[in-house]
Chains A and B, each alone.
Chain A
Amino acid sequence: MSSHILNPKFDRRTLIKGAAALGAFQVASPFIIQARGDTPIRIGMVDPLTGVYAAPAGNEVVGAKLAVTQMNAKGGILGRQVELLVEDSANDVGTGVQKARKLIERDQVNFMIGDVNSGIAAAIAQVTAEKKILHIVSGGHTDSITGKDCKWNVFRVCNTTRMEANSVSSVLFSKYGKKWHFITPDYAFGHTLYDACTDDLKKLGGTVTGNELTPLGTTDFSAYLIKARAASPDVLILLVQGSDMINCLKQVVQFGLDKQIHVAGTQQELESLAALPPEARIGIWMFEWYWKQPGVAGVDKFVADIRKLNNNNVPTARHWFGYASAMTFALIANQEKTTDAVKLAAALENFELPDDVKLQPNKVYYRKGDHQLMTSAFVGEAQSKGKDDPEDLFRVDEVVAGDKTAPAVGETGCTVQWPS
């Protein structure tokens, strides 16, 4: 055997070749869900299918898939079949933008959905505005998307961080106390959610004992929890999401911190509660949509339809985000009988979602002025075990209408600039 075979060594060229190969890896073909007919309408979807938000992103895709199946069964959009093209942003801004450009330039998509990650959603919005593509941000919450960085072509289905904070702050204050300590994810979503919460807290007369900014994808929160407890707050507010929420909440309970201080937060998701052991399903939160809504039109059918696609599991808010986003395109395009982005965007202003798409009690509409969907907040408490159903892990105490939690258009900082 030659010494090269036994002891191959790395050199700089090897590493450069490796980097080039990794670059090429990014440009793979998209996963096409459905393809029928000669000139189909194409909906592009960019979501972080890998990484810390893989579970919510995957569920948004399932929701959008159901919408596409249903709209095709009813004749598609303007009589044309609809295809859903899904790309993985890998929870990285650069990759997300690259994938969005590819969907628009190469695959010629008519509409765009995405991203769960606020930072990526905002970056993709730049691209869709430039390319004049109607874009619905399904699950990125940071305020600026329908605030100071709003765009004529960008609409949003999920709540803003300000809406989330407004829906639950006063409940947390009255039930848990006035000294709050925050664990905040260190990127756009976390920063705006923190600002919204602290604004509410100040108005209520409370104080902030500290804020631990944690990198996205943190696995061990012990160092932050040690610091948070040393500050002796009344309540520890967890603003982290996805697997960060799971890891953080799990460690909070392992350390017994929930027996010393209250633990709660704003946005909570079924994906996170389901992944937690029963003893860690604690606290008051807001859900953005919940599957158990007795007597609300269309919900039971939606739950049954998603169960078929989702290993018999119930839908989460993310399924509904994906579903409502994709359905919006079909509803508005079929109503206006065009795919022209500017005309459709104008028609979507104050457009109200029908019962079988909104799937909640209050009026739900895309608000004129900032293009934010006025969707409800489901405020309540996590349950360690479901009463009638093992997946009923949240007790909804109040469903607050979107226009009660959203700040007025004038306060959002949004001025929509339409193309000339």
Chain B
Amino acid sequence: MWQLILFNVTNGLIIGAFYVLMALGLSLILNLSNVINFAHGGFLVIGGYIAYTITPYIGFWGALLLAPPLTAVIGLAVERVLIRPLYGRDPLYSLLLTFGLAFMIEDGTRFIFGPQGKPVTIPAFLAQPLSNELFFITGYRLFMVAVVVIAVTLLFLLLRYTRLGVRIRAGTLDLETVAALGINVQMLRSLNFAVGIFLAGLSGVLAAGQLGLEPTMGTGLLMPSFIAIIVGGIGSLPGTLAGGLLIGVASGLTAVFLPAASEAVIYVLMAVVLLLRPRGLFGEEGMMS
């Protein structure tokens, strides 16, 4: 039994790492621009399908490098054309816009690639499990965790040590003052949005290798990411990181004892956190007042 629990905690951390990648992108956009990006799952799908389309020409590794920035470029265009005009309005507008956009991306993908799923082939050496005993740790899942660790490290370095990162962090705390200091807030929001969508695109490529592709895949992966943000605390990137890992482990552990509740448990966890600590584990008070 202990072995089963240990296996599921490890497994939960692996799944949680993936949620973290999605949630960090969402969190960046929410923190700076107050846009709840319902289309984030859609951008994940776009990233995945871009990778699927270019893999025959440049291979899996090429797709891994190229698909996320291409997704970010699409994100940048969407932000410039659709989302930017709504910044001055009630946040509900951008929420509805991204909600509609999520449907459009899903249906657009279905229109172009068909409703049937597409298999994505990963390099053979990654497709093997580590051992018979630790069968659930495959090379690809370890690789995913490694990519997440690298991406998260780079993101935190970017936010801490670069001018852009400092401005994003400052803007998250007080955008009005940042604007008063002469910083181009529109540009800041665009770049921040692109970084968030880059992470969604990267999640898409990784998910494509793990799960295969289908137009609806974004929806299922989006909800846990939202919950990771809420559990970790809105406004806190370390909170998002902790939230993602926590719901992964909670879900994995529940699968041992009550498999049918392994999905519901993340919502229960969210409810408990909101009851006991409404700002989330690492959140600051008043972020969503």
Residues of B228-279 at the interface with A, using a CB-CB cut-off of 8 Å, are 251-252, 255-256, 259-260, 262-264
Pick the contact of B135: A1, A217, A229 (CB < 8 A): A229
A127 beta carbon closer than 8 Å to chain B: no
Distance of B41 from chain A, by nearest CB (Å) = 11
Taking A9-B289, A58-B115, A215-B262 as contacts, is the C-beta distance between A257 and B135 under 8 angstroms? yes
Chain A neighbourhood of B123, CB < 8 A: none
Taking A54-B215, A247-B211 as contacts, is the C-beta distance between A227 and B11 under 8 angstroms? no
**Number of interface residues, chain A, beta carbon within 8 A:** 57
A selection of 23 A-B contacts at a CB cut-off of 8 Å is: A4-B88, A55-B116, A215-B260, A215-B264, A218-B220, A222-B136, A223-B251, A223-B262, A224-B255, A224-B262, A226-B4, A230-B3, A230-B4, A246-B117, A250-B119, A250-B212, A254-B210, A255-B129, A257-B135, A272-B117, A275-B117, A277-B120, A277-B212
Residues B89 and A213 in contact, CB atoms below 8 Å apart: no
Those 6 A-B pairs whose CB atoms lie nearest each other, nearest first: A275-B117, A223-B255, A213-B260, A5-B88, A6-B175, A215-B263
Taking A223-B11, A226-B11, A277-B121 as contacts, is the C-beta distance between A255 and B138 under 8 angstroms? yes
Interface flags for A192-231 (1: CB within 8 Å of B; 0: not) read: 0000000000000000000011110111101111110110
Residue ranges of A at the interface with B (Cβ–Cβ < 8 Å): 1, 3-10, 14, 17-18, 21-22, 49-52, 54-55, 57-59, 186, 212-215, 217-220, 222-227, 229-230, 243, 246-247, 250, 254-257, 260, 271-272, 274-277, 280, 311
Taking A3-B176, A255-B135 as contacts, is the C-beta distance between A55 and B115 under 8 angstroms? yes
Residues A256 and B129 in contact, CB atoms below 8 Å apart: yes
Taking A5-B88, A55-B214, A247-B212 as contacts, is the C-beta distance between A227 and B119 under 8 angstroms? no
Residues B4 and A227 in contact, CB atoms below 8 Å apart: yes
Distance of A57 from chain B, by nearest CB (Å) = 8
Residues A275 and B118 in contact, CB atoms below 8 Å apart: yes
Residues B116 and A271 in contact, CB atoms below 8 Å apart: yes
Q: Please report the C-alpha to C-alpha distance between residue A407 and residue B215 in the assembled complex, in whole angstroms.
A: 38
Residues B288 and A10 in contact, CB atoms below 8 Å apart: yes
B110 beta carbon closer than 8 Å to chain A: yes
Residues B176 and A227 in contact, CB atoms below 8 Å apart: no
Choose, from B90-98, B145-153, B161-169, the stretch at the interface: B90-98
Chain A neighbourhood of B96, CB < 8 A: 18, 21
Chain B neighbourhood of A220, CB < 8 A: 15, 211
Q: Please report the C-alpha to C-alpha distance between residue A55 and residue B114 in the assembled complex, in whole angstroms.
A: 8
Taking A212-B259, A213-B260, A277-B121 as contacts, is the C-beta distance between A256 and B135 under 8 angstroms? yes
Q: Please report the C-alpha to C-alpha distance between residue A57 and residue B114 in the assembled complex, in whole angstroms.
A: 12
Distance of B204 from chain A, by nearest CB (Å) = 13
